[in-house]
Amino acid sequence: MTRIGKRLANGGKALIGYITAGDPSLDATPRLVSALVRGGVDVLELGVPFSDPIADGPVIQRASERALAAGTSLRKVLGIAGCVRREHPDLPIILFTYMNPVVRYGFEALARDAATAGIDGILLTDLSVEEAGGYVKVMRAAGLDTIFLAAPTSTERRLRLIAQHSSGFVYLVSRTGVTGERASLSDAVAPLARAMRRVTDMPLAVGFGISTREQVAAVAGVADAVVVGSAFVHVIEKGGADMEQRVEALARELKSGLCR
């Protein structure tokens, strides 16, 4: 069991925080991760910037543009992950990326280098689960969790396939569409969680559109973990000398929604 599985299997609700590596700079990313950890984030999603992030809304799209302009690459993100691992030996780390950078890097090379850097799992947002067998085999052989997305539109057959290929947890997309802060939580969350529970006993995490303490608390009622990304990236986009403090404060506020 990876650090991801151990954290989510311990019975408590977890906050998963996403940031785009290299935004606003390569040097700033480890400090921002430390701010997230101080604020109570339990699991880190470290995003690889990509020029066509089809699953992401405007906030994370702009973060990818800034990170790419700063010279960030998949190889450099792995280097950042290594720095984070040395600073936070027990923090579960997920690499959040797209197929194009991974295919260019190579499955076997990525599995080897990600494991060496201390990454625990990989989430490929645009890999169809029906075509994921070879990828899963390579990543699992390196001891990495493979995390897949289940959507409100997923059929029962697809949910079963997602459960079969997932390890660590299953990522439930709260709504159709892209990432981004929303004023209200989708009504699709609870039915999707119930449907997924019928086909797996793995922990469930819900993401996309969650940005407030109240939304975190609502999701915690039906899932084991809550994923927040755009809200953190929005704070980073605003910048300022107190950026790290504001990231930490937001993490602490969101984490308080898990305390019941």
Question: Which residue out of 56, 113, 145, 244 is catalytically annotated?
Answer: 56
Tokens coding 110: 């990525």
Cis previous bond, 101, omega within 30: no
Rounded to an integer, what distance in angstroms lies between the CA atom of residue 99 and that of residue 103?
6
Question: Which residue out of 23, 27, 42, 45 is catalytically annotated?
Answer: 45
> Catalytic annotation on 56?
yes
> Catalytic annotation on 248?
no
Q: What angle do CA 130, 135, 136 make, to 5 degrees?
A: 80
Provide the annotated active-site residues. Answer: 45, 56
